[in-house]
Structure 1
Amino acid sequence: MRKKVMVTLLAVVDAILINLGFLLAFYIRFEGDLTGSFASQYLPIYLENAITLTLIKLGLFYLFGMYKNLWKYASIEELLQIVTCSFAANAGVVTYMMMTQQALPRGIYILIFILDTVLIGGVRLSYRITRGFREDLKHHGIEGLFKNKAKKRIMIIGAGQAGAMIIKELKRRDSLYSKPVAIIDDNDAKLGAKIHGVPVMGDRYHIKKVVDSEKIDEIIIAIPSAYKKEIREIVEECSKTKCKLKIVPGIYEFIEGQVSIKEIRDVEIEDLLGREPVKVDLEEISCYLTEKVVLVTGGGGSIGSELCRQIVGFHPRKLLIVDIYENNAYDIQNELVRKYPDLDLEVLIASVRDKRRLEEIFTLHSPEVVFHAAAHKHVPLMEASPQEAIKNNIFGTKNVAECAHEYGAKRFVLISTDKAVNPTNIMGATKRVAEMIIQSMNLVSKTEFVAVRFGNVLGSNGSVIPLFKKQIAEGGPVTVTDPEVTRYFMTIPEAVQLVIQAGSMAKGGEIFVLDMGEPVRIMDLAKNLIRLSGFEPEVDMPIEIVGLRPGEKLYEELLMDEEGLESTKHDKIFVGKPVFTDLRLLHRELDILTELLWNEPDAIKEYMVKMVPTYKKTS
């Protein structure tokens, strides 16, 4: 309704301006003498046809889309449209006059075209100026109107469509106080060209030089189709400056292909460490998840909650979330209920240590696929409380696995870790025993038991990146355990996609190993994060070396020597052969371990060395 009122109002204003233009054209053409013989010869012709000529012009304005634009964002493109519409409208007038064998001086038509462009364009552009004035008044008050707020000088990296749209929007929105002044693009053919008046001044290796010469305050990376490797290289060049870095999201994040200022966000460390999007076999995954009852233990945690988000996309018949921590469970429940109102969802508060409670759940719901993500994972905390790591990671896994076997689940997927390989901490040792449980149970069960092993995930609860961000926000120092310590990293969505894909490949007994890419030095990670936060490492933000914590390694591993490694049809998933299958021996050792749980931590760790020969305890 409001739009119709605005269109009507604009049409009325245009009608007035059209006729004002005619009168001014006559006034100029006849040098102000509208009563002279020449003027009196032609003026009546206009007056007799005024209504028809006005309707012709308004009709052509409408056909050319003049009333579809949002004039609060009027810019040079809209002005060019006004010129085009004015030309077409006056061509329509000339055609009508010729068809009716009526004539006006040719100078009148030229003057009317110019006056239409000036008057009609002026009204529309003045609307934008007036609106900007009102916004400044609203946001900054009276004093703000008299302050000459300096505009941020912006560099755009990427001279493609996304970069052009960002430049256009920055120029439209005066309230952003941002001025695009330079473009960087690696295409030599674009060097020296201008986009919306902004010049392309060099390739990525000229970023520092252009930043200095143009006094750039902020850099926006506008290459949504770029590979992660390319983004990393560009950010490395940008990090040589002290500019604030922002990025346009990847092309897959856009809705209907539109770039918006609202979509631009700060460059995150994930942009540098994340790899290319994972390709999954949707049909293969659907075969074992669609219309199945799926249970996720630890479903409120970082990995568990992402598992739930991705599983619902395959339309399970029912999703069961089991978690001991009610706050996390409540959060993922609310999220899924809001996004998937038709989902059959059951959230159950339960501990994997409680076998009877698990039996109740399996009896009532009969899950067909089980993802076991519940575990204690913080290495230093588990070193101090090894009993709790054993209760949760070993006996919790045993309880869930036995229920899956006893109640006829088709598939059981254990979420494991690279710390299970040649462990140097109790947490890694317990996860290795969890792998041994599922490998040995696979031989005596119709359930297909598999494990999926991967390294650190970016942004998970308790991971290093949230810690670094908190330390930077508090002014430092940023603490690094050792200058040479390295870790493998993967984004949570990528890890979960591969876990689900690996689950579809299961035949039973495998340990799937995810391709984690190249290991990352934590020192480099800390420095990059400091730079992305706008500081210079060791200058604006100190880095403190605090030493390795109990049980920590300098380097993580993904596979034991004896496991071997075979490729699968997925280029990011590998499989290791089973190396432990003696369930009776394992049960005897677990019985002894149960009795030792009330002993001193050192005694427990000593026995864990016997159970896991590759375990080299450090404390």
Structure 2
Amino acid sequence: METLTAIVTSLLKRVAGLSRWQKQAVVVLLDIVLCVQSIWIAYSLRIGVWVFWDLAVQKLVFGALLFMLPIFYFTGVYNAIFRYAGSGMMKTLARAFILFGMPMVVVFSVIGIDGVPRTVGAIQPMLFFFLVGFSRIMARYLMVDILGRRLFGGQVKTVLIYGAGSAGQQLASSMRSEPSTRLLGYVDDDRRLEGQKLDGDRVFWSGKLQSIIEKHEITDILLALPNISRKKRRAIVDQVQQFQVHVQTLPNMKEIIDGKVSFNDIRELDIEDLLGREPVAPNELLLGRTIVGKTVLVTGAGGSIGSELCRQIAQCGARRLIMFELSEYSLYAIEKELRNLGKSRSLENLQIVPVLGSVTDAGRVREILARWNPDTIFHAAAYKHVPLVEANPVEGIRNNLFGTFEVVNAAHEAGVSDFILVSTDKAVRPTNIMGASKRGAEQVVQAFAAISKKTRFSMVRFGNVLGSSGSVVPLFRQQIESGGPITLTHRDVTRYFMTIPEASQLVIQAAGMAKGGEVFVLDMGKSVRIADLAKTMVQLSGLTVRSESHPDGDIEIQEVGLRPGEKLYEELIIGNNPEKTVHDRIMMAHEDFLDRDRLEELIHRFRNSRERSEVIDLLNQLVPEFEHERDNDAEQQAS
């Protein structure tokens, strides 16, 4: 048996090594043989005697080949790749055989040929279709299951697909050409499906998942549930993470471009898959109030939040979008993306204006506002990486505080209708320079809101967004892939998380509720303990955490200490008086601030100072709740 298998494998290797036209020639010859075979079978069955060759058979062979070769060629039968044979190939064959069968029936059954039974003209195409279809299925089996898996030198993963639906079925079909995987079957929550077969693969009930994993040594579980809620996905993840298996998922169906699932769509689980909190449908009236038919300016347009704001604004019906950005490449990238988006979604009425420049350049800011006369400004430009701003306080404060002052002052002078500052939870009782500079920026907005009669100044404060630059999730994944360790600043650190699109939509909706001076706060849900997140990511990678109690684990989690100015947990409100708004996910607070005269005095002193210690002292005066710990290492980095 092993000798026979070796011979078959050797022949398959030779066939696989042929050029494309040589393989097509082999397939044509095979089809000619099958055509002749189907003729003598059909003819012999009709007359009741096995006849391999006579005048009638010769006439049938001549006619069949005359019809078959051009029809098969022009219908694309010989363009298909056997190893990916599936429903698409069978549709092509069915179309070709319908076209082949018609002249065969007309010539041999309707018109009739002397010496050839009329029924053979109808029987032969059916037998021929069966033989050709079977040959394609066998070729696929031999090329993929025999040759492909024998030549694959890596470890073969035993896989379960969670979800016995159409997405799971498509995924299983795509996986059959993957020699690195062996599909055991499906898992589903519907107990009525237990023991059933889907395309030949068994369906198991999820209640027996543990015994299935242990019995069949499952290495991977693929979640083929693209349309379920976050809450349901979280419940499934909680169920499977206790087992030592690698868990991956299909993205949401909206993210799959052509609506068809394939093995290439599988991705690692993101933290948003673990949040379990459903996004609230946007209020279209609030979305459009500061956007529809208006000229909108976004500062920091190339950043994580700024670029998503641009995407949302472009789709909300703005007349003109001005994208103000310091980084040339970031501006180029978002402009290119939006122009492509405009072609695909009929946004030809939107005028996109890319503008290079710094928000700290007062002349440039005034020039832009005078030229384009924006109705709404979303100010998202900021330095936000805590360690970098801590090491470079002068530049951090200049960008976050002065930049905000220049844009706010110019908006006030130009009579812009709405101004919205994108702020951060680190501005609440800040312990680092970045947070304090953003709290100072908030005070700038609040001070102008108190005196402005034309411009509605407001701000929106929220926590971490998923997928932003410096996000902890891709860092942890990279550390896991490299074998660890995972580095934590502190095991008790907690953070709020929200997706970038959801945060951006809420920012725009908050702007639609503004009357002037409000501090809008986004409901970020429950905070996430970063150590728990790291442990979950390790487990969902099919690995174990190495610790004192489990020294044989795969990935170690190391605590490296809090960075300068870093908090164990973040807050969103300074006081204890949040108010509800018309939106379930947006709260509102009114907080103390310096008057404009005192503010401008401090701003003037900031402008004339370039010393680290002096600007930090001034920042303490501007933000009294700021408690900064002098850090020698940070000072050395700055110098």
- 2:475 aligned with 1:467: yes
1:576 matched residue in structure 2: 589
Q: Could you tell me whether the CA contact under 8 Å between 2:158 and 2:184 is conserved in 1?
A: yes
1:547 lines up with 2:564 in the alignment: no
| TM-score of the two chains, using structure 1 as the length reference | 0.81
Please, which of 216, 219, 243 is the counterpart of residue 217 of structure 1? 219
Per the alignment, do residues 487 and 145 of structure 1 end up closer, same or farther by CA in structure 2, a change over 3 Å counting?
Answer: closer
Instruction: Please name the residue that 1:397 is paired with.
Output: 404
Cα displacement (A) at 1:223 = 0.4
Moved more, 358-367 or 344-353: 344-353
CA–CA distance in 1 between the matches of 2:419 and 2:629?
32
Higher deviation after alignment, 335-344 or 280-289: 335-344
Same amino acid, percent of matched pairs: 39
Choose the corresponding residue for 1:125, options 129, 137, 145: 137
Q: Does 1:494 align with 2:502?
A: yes
Is 2:41 the partner of 1:24? yes
> What's the offset of the Cα at 1:166?
1.3
Query: Could you tell me which amino acid in structure 1 is paired with residue 132 of structure 2?
Result: I
Q: Does 1:197 align with 2:204?
A: no
Cα distance in 2 for residues equivalent to 1:259 and 1:306 = 26
Report the count of equivalent residues.
Answer: 590
SS of the residue corresponding to residue 252 of structure 1 reads helix
The Cα shift of 1:15 comes to 9.5
- 3-state SS, counterpart of residue 415 of structure 1: strand
Residues 217-616 of structure 1 mapped to structure 2, 5 A cutoff:
217-273=219-275, 275-340=277-342, 344-445=351-452, 446-538=454-546, 539-562=553-576, 564-580=577-593, 582-594=595-607, 597-601=609-613, 603-616=614-627
Judging changes above 3 Å, is the alpha-carbon distance between structure 1 residues 479 and 340 closer, same or farther for their aligned structure 2 residues? same
Identify if the C-alpha distance between structure 1 residues 169 and 133 changes in structure 2 by more than 3 Å, giving closer, same or farther.
closer
**TM-score, with length taken from structure 2:** 0.78
- Residue deviations 1:229-274 (CA, integer Å, cap 9, x gap): 2222322333333433321111222345322223222223342237
Give the 3-state SS of the residue equivalent to 2:555 in structure 1.
Answer: coil
User: In the alignment, is residue 156 of structure 1 matched against residue 161 of structure 2?
Assistant: yes
In structure 2, relative to structure 1, the CA distance for the partners of 1:326 and 1:22 (3 Å cut) is closer
Kindly provide the amino acid, as one letter, of the partner of residue 586 in structure 1.
L
After superposition, the C-alpha distances for 1:93-113 in whole angstroms (9 at most, x for unaligned) are 79x97999x999999999869
1:110–1:391 distance in 2 versus 1, CA, 3 Å: closer
Q: C-alpha separation between the residues in 1 aligned to 2:85 and 2:427?
A: 61
Matched letter for residue 167 of structure 1: A
Q: Closer, same or farther in 2 for the Cα pair 1:149/1:447, shift >3 Å?
A: closer
What is the alpha-carbon distance in structure 2 between the residues aligned to residue 355 and residue 438 of structure 1?
Answer: 16
Q: Give the match's secondary structure for 1:304.
A: helix
Corresponding residue for 1:3?
none
- CA distance in 1 between counterparts of 2:321 and 2:571 reads 33
- Answering whether residue 161 of structure 2 is matched by residue 169 of structure 1, we say no
Report the alpha carbon displacement of residue 444 of structure 1 after superposing the two structures with TM. 2.1
The question of whether the paired residues in 2 share the 8 Å contact of 1:207 and 1:237 is answered with no
Question: Does the C-alpha gap of structure 1 residues 186 and 66 become closer, same or farther in structure 2, counting only changes over 3 Å?
Answer: farther
Q: Which amino acid aligns with 1:463?
A: S
Q: Aligned partners of 2:48 and 2:619: how far apart in 1?
A: 106
Say whether the 8 Å CA contact 1:300–1:329 is kept in structure 2.
yes
CA contact under 8 A between 1:319 and 1:345: conserved in structure 2?
Answer: yes
* Distance in structure 2 (CA, Å) of the matches to 1:464 and 1:80: 47
Give me the whole-angstrom Cα distance separating, in 2, the residues matched to 1:192 and 1:268.
Answer: 32
What are the Cα deviations for residues 553-605 of structure 1, in whole angstroms up to 9, with x where unaligned?
2111111225x22222222112223543732343344445555x34552x544
Native 8 Å contact 1:411 1:448 kept in 2: yes
* CA distance in structure 2 between the partners assigned to 1:570 and 1:422 by the alignment: 26
8 Å Cα contact 1:208/1:240 also seen in 2: no
Q: Tell me, which stretches of 5 or more residues in structure 2 are unaligned?
A: 1-25, 547-552, 631-639
Q: Which digits, 9 at most, give the CA deviation of each residue in 1:395-439, with x for residues without a partner?
A: 211110011111121111101011111222222222122112212
Deviates more, 1:65-74 or 1:262-271: 65-74
- Match of 2:557, as an amino acid? I
SS at match of 1:561: coil
* Residue ranges of structure 1 left out of the alignment (5+ in a row): 1-8, 137-143
Write the distance in 1 (CA, Å) between the matches of 2:87 and 2:33.
24
- Superposed, 1:36-115 pairs within 5 Å as 72=82, 73-75=84-86, 115=127
Q: Distance in 1 between matches of 2:141 and 2:278?
A: 44
Q: Does the Cα contact within 8 Å between 1:53 and 1:93 map onto a contact in 2? A: no
Tell me the distance in 2 between the aligned counterparts of 1:275 and 1:147: 41
What's the RMSD between the two structures over aligned residues? 4.4
Whole-Å Cα distance in 2 between the matches of residues 66 and 383 of structure 1?
65
